[in-house]
Structure formats: structure tokens, C-alpha cells
Amino acid sequence: MTKKGLNILLVGATGSVGRHVITVAREARHHIRALSRNPSELRNMPSDVEVVKGDLTRPETLTECVDGIDAIIFTHGSNGDKAANEAVDYGGVRNILSVFGSRLVQVALMTSIGVTERNGSYNRRTQAHDWKRRSERLLRASGHPYTIVRPGWFDYNKPDEHRLVLLQGDRRHSGTPQDGVISRRQIAEVLVHALTTATATRKTFELVAEHGEWQGNWEALFSQLAIDPPLALDGVSDLNNMPLADEPRNVKDDLWSVEKQRKEHC
């Protein structure tokens, strides 16, 4: 925990993980600014949570939302069709990053275990994995210091599964809880503490819980991980199965835009 709390923009505050993020961040004495297209959905928030209106799919509504922000936590998701996955899961990250311009902030992005698996029926039907992975790539290319968390299946934990296990390379592709389980509260804790733990920066990992007690040391937990290669689009040890040359034109253009911004940071 830092001596002075961060001003965190939470993208996905109305979701089940986002609500846990609010609790964990307040416990750590951070200030949360919760973004919502419908602020009335957050009317029961604690009084110290700032609720702001903005639409992830409309960047012109987001400019004032980022004033004074030190860090971002993304827990949003569309649970929709291909168009919704592109517009929200991917477009939301693109639009939020774009309004920061050349100003760097710490970012924690939640995607999903199995995000590099492209051939399963779920991804072929929805392209959910592909668009989440493209959002990861945008963040890596942007120059913002980041942590990318790919959680397993939510709240399938047994009562004795508290030990956090961080994996890399994304090789669990069954599409079932056999890939790993994790509680929503644990995901929130990892996202929040990654923002203030130096050993979490520029790391991508799958997050699951297994039998045993919580290890109790964030610095040590994150330090076991390999850093993503400099200027790489994918996480360390990820499958090389999404060639940039085959990507949609708009995706290539977005990557070019954030890379241009990154060079301006240097």
C-alpha cells in the first residue's frame, strides 16, 4: 500500500469483479472513480466513491473522466456477440487509453484464461478471446506501465483453495473449470495490489487458486514471473498464433496510433 492512495479509474464498476475492486481499493485507502454509462446503477455506492458518466464506445464522453487519475483498473466485459466484443472488450480499452494522450498511468487489465485459444467453438462463435487479446496487445504497445491478469473460472473455489498460482504462456484451453478457479475477491485483490507493487509491472499471467493458504507477500508473488519482452505484442511464452499481418485493418491502425504515442513519451 502506498502512503498516499492512488486515484483509480475503475472501468467495469457495475460488474461482479468491479464491485469487489471497489471494496479492496477502499480498504487500501485508494480513491475510486467508477465509470458507468448509467450512474443510477451505482447509486448505492459508498459516499467516498466518485461515480462518473461515460460510454466506453464513445470516446468523446470520456475526456473529463480521466482528469487527475493515477491508475486504471479494467474489469469490463460485454458478454455479447462479435460486434459487442469488439466495441466494448477491445474498443473500451482503446478509447480509454486514447483520452490519456501522452500522459502515462499504471494500468491493470483483466482479460481471461484461455485468451490465446482461437480454434474453440466459443471463440469461433463470438471472437471474445480474439478481441480481449487485441486489447492486451494495445496496452503492451501503448507505453503505459501495466499488469495483465487472466483469471480462471470465477468463484468455483473449494473452501480450502486460497493459495494464488500465477501461470504464464496460457496453455490451459479446456474451456471448463479444469483450467483453474479463482474467487472474484481474489481477482480484485490482485488487480488492486498490482498497481502499487513494482514486481508486477510489465507482466502477463493466468491467475488461479489452489489448495493452501494465501502466501501473504505481493512482492514475492509477482517477482517469480518473467517480464514481457520489450516491444512484444503478446505475453511472454504466449502462442504465436495471431499474425499481425492477418489482423483487421482497423486493429493495425490502432496499434500504429498507440505506438506513435509511446514514441512521443520517450
Cα 30 to Cα 25, 27, 110, 193, distances in angstroms:
5, 8, 19, 11
Q: What are the cell numbers at 243?
A: 499474425
Does residue 12 register a pLDDT over 60?
yes
- Number of Cβ atoms within 10 Å of the Cβ of 108: 23
Query: Quick one: pLDDT band at residue 103, thresholds 50, 70, 90?
Result: very high
Go through 45-54 and write b for each residue having 16 or more CB atoms within 10 A of its CB, e for each that does not. Answer: beeebbbbeb
* Res 2: pLDDT: 42
Does residue 80 register a pLDDT over 60?
yes
3-state percent breakdown (helix, strand, coil) of the chain, nearest 5: 40, 20, 40
Grid cell 490451459 is found at 172
Query: Quick one: pLDDT band at residue 266, thresholds 50, 70, 90?
Result: low
Which of 88, 233, 241, 236 has the alpha carbon at shortest distance from 173? Answer: 241
Go through 167-195 and write b for each residue having 16 or more CB atoms within 10 A of its CB, e for each that does not. Answer: bbebebbeeeeebbbbbbebbbbbbbbbb
In this predicted model, which residue has the larger pLDDT, 260 or 168? 168
* Res 263: pLDDT: 77
Q: Where are the domains of the chain?
A: 7-265
Mean pLDDT of the chain: 95
Q: What are the cell numbers at 199?
A: 514486481
**Phi, psi values for residue 50, rounded to 5°:** -90, 120
Does residue 170 register a pLDDT over 50?
yes
* Res 231: pLDDT: 87
* Res 102: pLDDT: 85
pLDDT digit string, tens, across residues 178-229: 999 999 999 999 999 999 999 999 999 999 999 999 999 999 999 999 999 9
* Res 265: pLDDT: 65
Enclosing H/E stretch for 7: strand 7-11
CB 266 within 8 A of CB 102: no
* Res 58: pLDDT: 95
pLDDT digit string, tens, across residues 228-264: 999 899 999 999 999 999 999 999 999 999 988 777 7
Does residue 22 register a pLDDT over 70?
yes
In whole angstroms, what separates CA 23 from the centre of its chain? 17
pLDDT digit string, tens, across residues 43-64: 899 999 999 999 999 999 999 9
Q: What are the cell numbers at 247?
A: 489482423
Task: Give the span between the Cα atoms of 223 and 111, in whole angstroms.
Answer: 21
Task: Give the span between the Cα atoms of 17 and 83, in whole angstroms.
Answer: 23
Assign domain 7-265 to its CATH architecture: 3-Layer(aba) Sandwich (3.40)
Task: Give the span between the Cα atoms of 203 and 192, in whole angstroms.
Answer: 14
